[in-house]
Amino acid sequence: MQITVVRGDITAMDVDAIVTAANKSLVGGGGVDAAVHRAAGARLLQALRPLAPCPPGRAVITEAFDLAPRVRWVVHAVGPRFGVDEPADELLASAYVDSLARCDEVGARSVAFPSISTGAYGFPLPEASRISIQALTSATTAVAECRLVAFDAKTEKFWTRAIG
């Protein structure tokens, strides 16, 4: 799988699936999840209701609804709340790997990820970047292209270093 780091808006990526950093109730939250819900429209929330709750370290998948034409799927990955959900490292790695498994279920060959758990959930960015790269590079998947979409320069820097 080819992994690249880009800075930008995950909702504008030209990929088969985008991942959002969801909360366990799957009702839309802040940050990237709010942006994905806004871009996908109200049908996204309706599709998620029967799939909730989703525990930390797991992911569910829905249609992309009103997102950009190429994006067909949204993967809702629930990362750990740092200092609350343990073992945090394992749960974070699992959120990335489980997201790839959901992509495989629907035949998605390209996916864009945000930095899961590093916003409101407080996971330290250097550690989260390392864990995400290790999880993605060790996963068995049919996904051919993975874009790590950084919202800011700091995230971009740490992901680029972790790929190293």
Q: Which residues are catalytic?
A: 33
Query: What is the secondary structure of 63-110 as a DSSP string?
Result: E-TTS-TT--EEEEEEPPPTTTSSSHHHHHHHHHHHHHHHHHHHT--E
Q: Please state, in angstroms and as integers, the Cα–Cα distance from residue 94 to each residue in 56, 67, 89, following that order.
A: 9, 26, 9
CA distance 54 to 59: 7
Angle at 39 between CA 64 and CA 10, to 5 degrees: 80
Say which residue the tokens 């390209």 belong to.
Answer: 110
Q: Which residue has the tokens 């864009």?
A: 112
- Structure token pair of residue 116: 């899961």
